[in-house]
Amino acid sequence: MNTKNFRKDQWLMLLVTMFCYLFFYTGRHNFGWAAKDMAAELQVPYTTIGWISFSMLIGYAIGQLVNGNLADHFGARRMVPLGALLSISANIGISYATNIYVVFVLWAMNGYFQSMAWAPGSRLISNWWSANERGKAFGLYTMAAGCSSVITYLLSIILLQQDMSWRYLFRLPVLLLLVAATIFFIIARNTPADKGYENLSDDTAKLEKTSWQERYKVVLRNRGFLTASLAIGFQNMARYGLIFWVPVHFLGQNWKDSPEYLWVTFLMPIGMAIGALTFGNISDSIFKGNRPASIATGMSVSAVIALLIFFTHSHSIVVNGILMFSAGFFVYGVQANFWPMSPELLGEKYVGTGIGIMNMCAYLFAAMGEPLLGRVIDVTHNTRYVFLAIAIISFTCALIISSIKYKHHVSLQVSNT
């Protein structure tokens, strides 16, 4: 193997996958910014808006269960662009909807379409990166997802400050996803063998000899992996509690009187992006590959920050900015530590199926949290109580992940690059 050329292509595959996912959230994190005006125009309570968000997350969870397995067979190069095109179509359809039930159905379908990217992309990265560098690779990949939130928040704030209708939030940002998906299809290759190199693991070659039933059976019998999947459920519930309801909290009743407060929310996804990169590296260095310990630490701090937001209810832009950045940093940064656990607990052979099931749990729990948090706002008439709920959810995640007895062997493996 030409080590120099392989290293170049290895980075190229990671970067093009990151670039594509950088724009995927323009097709789903836009909803929180549209929620307030949508609820007013279509005359529905926030509980109903929460159920619509629930529909997307359930669609995403179901899609992960299916598409994670399909990723092990069809690969990312086909699945990711297809998911992007279908998601763009669903978003544009919603932008013309006048009936809340049409929005509900299309947003649920969009959840499934959006699920066609993460697990296939993870499968591609796992194929190209050896175990002792995978924490770094998945940290960068997760950072791209965090940056996708940054881009979506930025575009949404700009469009709202231009007095554009909520409908344009579903029409304009997703055009960037179309460009990114096209570039991904042209450049990406599923395995090193597709570019003339040797695959890093024999499991990649053996994959075709396993049935879809066998892949599910192996994953569902691994108790440690199932515990990690339960933990990421609570982590993602806390994460989406912030992503969806923080815009609602800061839009308030008269946000136009203090438009600068919208930029405070922009610091949260920036914190998420930086947190993902940071936790991806420190799990390999400071925590010596002990992913559960890194996750438990991050989620405990996340809970404390959520409590600070709830109790302080400060009107200072500086204080709110620091709290928003910190909340995003810790609640999302730890997610970079979950994905490497799939190949490390299950083996290379079942990466796509494992990540698919793990991500299914993540979004199933996030889905259950949305109408619950919407109900909290309707009952208390105060969006601050969302942060109290997020603190409880974060502590629960930390307790669950701490129960895993984790033996990591990355240090014993030698890179093929």
pLDDT at position 1 is: 59
Nearest-angstrom CA–CA distance, 264 and 260? 7
Handedness of CA 228, 233, 236, 242 (dihedral sign): negative
CB of 329 within 8 A of CB of 272?
yes
pLDDT at position 113 is: 96
CB of 67 within 8 A of CB of 356?
yes
Angle (CA) 54-57-62 rounded to 5° is 120
CB of 130 within 8 A of CB of 200?
yes
CB of 192 within 8 A of CB of 200?
yes
**The pair of three-digit structure tokens given for residue 51, joined into one six-digit string:** 């159920």
Q: Residues of the chain with pLDDT > 90: what percent?
A: 39
Against a cut of 0.85, is the pTM above it?
no
pLDDT at position 83 is: 95
pLDDT at position 213 is: 76
Burial degree of 322 (CB within 10 A; 0-12, 13-18, 19+): middle
Q: Residue 199: phi, psi to the nearest 5?
A: -65, 150
Residue 211 vs residues 59, 217, 220: alpha-carbon distances, Å: 24, 10, 15
Nearest-angstrom CA–CA distance, 101 and 87? 18
> Which domains can be identified in the chain, with CATH numbers?
9-188+210-406 (1.20.1250.20)
CB of 365 within 8 A of CB of 234?
yes
Q: CA nearest 386: which of 268, 287, 307?
A: 307
CB of 235 within 8 A of CB of 295?
yes
Angle (CA) 110-265-262 rounded to 5° is 100
Q: CA nearest 346: which of 337, 358, 359, 360?
A: 358
HEC assignment per residue over the chain = CCHHHHHHHHHHHHHHHHHHHCCHHHHCCCHHHHHHHHHHHHCCCHHHHHHHHHHHHHHHHHHHHHHHHHHHHHCHHHHHHHHHHHHHHHHHHHHCCCCHHHHHHHHHHHHHHHCCCHHHHHHHHHHHCCHHHHHHHHHHHHHHHHHHHHHHHHHHHHHHHCCCCHHHHHCCCHHHHHHHHHHHHHHCCCCHHHHCCCCCCHHHHHHHHCCHHHHHHHHHCCHHHHHHHHHHHHHHHHHHHHHHHHHHHHHCCCHHHCCCHHHHHHHHHHHHHHHHHHHHHHCCCCCCCCHHHHHHHHHHHHHHHHHHHHHHCCCCHHHHHHHHHHHHHHHHHCHHHHCCHHHHHHCHHHHHHHHHHHHHHHHHHHHHHHHHHHHHHHHHCCCCHHHHHHHHHHHHHHHHHCCCCCCCCHHHCCCCC
Residue 49 vs residues 35, 79, 103, 377, 388: alpha-carbon distances, Å: 7, 29, 10, 12, 20
**The pair of three-digit structure tokens given for residue 67, joined into one six-digit string:** 């598409």
pLDDT at position 411 is: 39
- Give the number of residues written for the chain: 417
Average confidence (pLDDT) per 10 residues, the chain, 417 residues? 84 96 93 88 87 89 81 86 96 94 95 91 88 79 85 90 91 96 95 88 56 77 89 94 81 61 82 84 76 92 94 80 92 86 76 80 87 85 88 96 72 35
Kindly report the number of other CB atoms within 10 A of residue 383's CB atom. Answer: 18
**The pair of three-digit structure tokens given for residue 112, joined into one six-digit string:** 């499934």
pLDDT at position 247 is: 79
Nearest-angstrom CA–CA distance, 383 and 65? 33
